[in-house]
Chains A and B, each alone.
Chain A
Amino acid sequence: MKTVLSIKGLTKDYGRLRAVNQLDLEVQQGQVFGMLGPNGSGKTTTLGMLMGVTNPTAGEFTWFGETPTHTLRKKIGAVLEHPIFYPYLSGQKNLELNAMVKECPADNIPKVLDLVELSGRKDDKYKTYSLGMKQRLAIASALLNEPTVLILDEPTNGLDPMGIAEIRELTKKIAASGKTIILASHLLDEVQKVCTHFAVLKKSNLIHSGPVDDVGRGAETVEVQADVANLSELLMDFSGTASINRENGYFQVTLRDEFHGKDLNRFLFDKGVVANHLVTKKKSLEKMFLEILSEH
């Protein structure tokens, strides 16, 4: 697998404030890489340094194994923070200008406008667009040069639920086409659904990085409900039980390692109890994220 991005010791100071501290990170080709972290944890500053708008204080990074230059940036599509365009130009003209800056043919414009469903409004001035349309135009402009790497920073920020759903569908569509995506987001659910890998930043430090699949590993939690009076005691008798919680009329059984939902099910069945409700719950990224944050 080819390394798309490699970061070593990247640091940024704003006066006495350290925004990014000694960041090391690698992104491989084809990964959909989620960057998580509370507001002000250094995500946008990091992306700004990767895209040449913020000068790093120390450290280095390479794109495609090469030292970064502006020519290299033309191969990357990026939307940082909010969409930025000339308000007095139409969507179409803004994209034409983008094509000139990126030195790519303008033939792609109708295609990307179609993809983000803006073809009908392309000749209206950018300042008349709704926030959702602005975000979509930004994604269109990022896709204009058919980049192999796409950077999206909070692409659903400030959107209504419909807009969020639209952008999520779009991200999935793009991810399915095999592009490497770096996605900074608050929406953990979204990251879990779309991303293959993720990293967590907190107070300018990288505190976790790894595959999203790992999130589900580790202790399982099983939610059980059955019409027997002594269910609680029965569950305590099960050798795989680590702890039991009662929530909304269901028992949340945290299992020891090496035990799974089916073992609990078999145990109950052997005891002559048939459960009405038995669900193995995977740990959500949200839960893990909060765990990671509280550990550090």
Chain B
Amino acid sequence: MFACIHAPQLPPDLSLAEFAYGFSPIVEEAAGRTVVIDAEGCELLFGSAYQLATDLSRLAKEPTTNGGLESAVNIALAANPDAAIHAATRLKGITFISAGEELTCLGALPVEALEFSLVNVEKKLADEIFETLRLWGIRTFQDFASLPVAGVSERLGQEGVRLQQLAAGKTERHLKVKQPAPVFANSIDLDHALHELEPLSFIFARLLNQLCATLNAYALSTNDLTLQMQLTDQTSYDRTLSLPFPMRDHKVFLKLLLLEMEKHPPQAAVKAVSLTCDPVKPRVVQHGLFVPLAPSPDKLELTLARLAKLVGEQNVGSPVLLDTHRPDAFNLKRFVLDGKHSKREFQNSNSVLGFRMFRPPLRAVVQVDHGLPAQISAWNKQRSVYGKVVNVAGPWRTTGDWWRKDSWARDEWDVAVETGKPGSEQQSVYRIYRELSSGAWFVEGNYD
């Protein structure tokens, strides 16, 4: 049994829905100052359905201090919510419609009174149907309901059939209960400020548990987690975790947050913690059967965060070559497995030549004989290069970026240096270069 409350003269500052929530937790807010409540199970509190309607009508007339609406309301009780809505909006006072008796009460209502939006019919189409019905001489709900269903379907389509069921009071649906908008944020004010990370981790765990439970309830994930903390020195500590893929595992979030906090500890004790996330749809990936395994995204993120903590964020990632001829020009970008398989045919060739770059280049002393390097000597704490140059090729001159302060101009040589005993075959091949501006020699790296 459903009860519809229609308040035609409701003061604008009062909420009909809040009034209805005093009687039932299941309330649908319909258009035009109308609400529908599910009266099923209210018998223990309010007695019979008619008693409930009487109480509703009486309380609505009460002043707001007593929880009333200070206005008269129309109330209709029916077996389906749509019939109750029609009765409450069109009939004054209290209307009780027994199951199967809908047309007895509503049969005389004009066809134009049909709330077509209740059965998802557009206004334009509904107007066309009403015009057709008017031409047919169909004026009331009773007339419309008595038409043969097959004929209505043939002439007016499925929308006509749905409208006919609405007129006959035979629709079946659940109430569209208004849910409060989900909040994907959690915060906590601490009684005592926290200095250390360990007790904070328990706070994070609690907040993340709630946050991930909310995400889980709505089948959502997040790839942006924002941590805001109020510190005792009246400053705010903000960090954002940007993940390459949406996740909702609170354990992973907790570890990532702790690693982030270890890398960037707050300057003062924490007195309030707030966590916010942007909900997004979870990632759905169909892997190929024969594609090799890859690290799972959550484990990879954790590993990258730990590696960044170990060796520094600037030392972990994927290399990206820059669009320049400058030697050793590259960037490191964040390592992200995008799941794309850009498989190209691997060409087994002998042209693969390994090169080991010395960073920074090794300052060298080079003896030149007839314009060619003859002896080389270079060392630092890590490595040393010295010996007789037994083979040489070059030079190759490269210049670039002459319009910038960090322009380069140099002559490059490939030299084979005798590294073993004199006369032995043991050689190492290095790339050396001479800066044209300063005339200084450097060892850039070795071929290996």
A binds B: no
Residues of A participating in the B interface, judged by any CB pair closer than 8 Å: none
